[in-house]
Copies of this chain bind each other. A is one copy, B any other.
């Protein structure tokens, strides 16, 4: 008999997603937090037709956080690592 550990992201009492690693569960939970905070801002833009569209775009932008921060000059683009110079 085996016992496995599952990490379940719960939102408003609803099980959203199950992970086998805590780090992944935490990352997903944090991403949902950001999407929740992006929602009212995107809704205020008036650019989208439905709540579902606002939700989808909020999730998309939360996932693309790094690209978004670079576009907003809040983060430097990761410099491509120089290949080791062969002497």
Contact = CB atoms under 8 A, between A and B. Distances in A.
Interface string A59-87: 01110110111111111000000000000
Contacts of A61: 41, 45
Interface residues of A, number: 27
A55 to B, nearest CB: 10
B69 A74 contact: yes
22 contacts: A30-B73, A33-B73, A34-B71, A34-B72, A34-B73, A37-B72, A38-B71, A38-B72, A41-B61, A41-B64, A41-B67, A41-B68, A41-B71, A45-B61, A47-B48, A47-B57, A48-B48, A62-B72, A65-B72, A68-B68, A69-B69, A74-B75
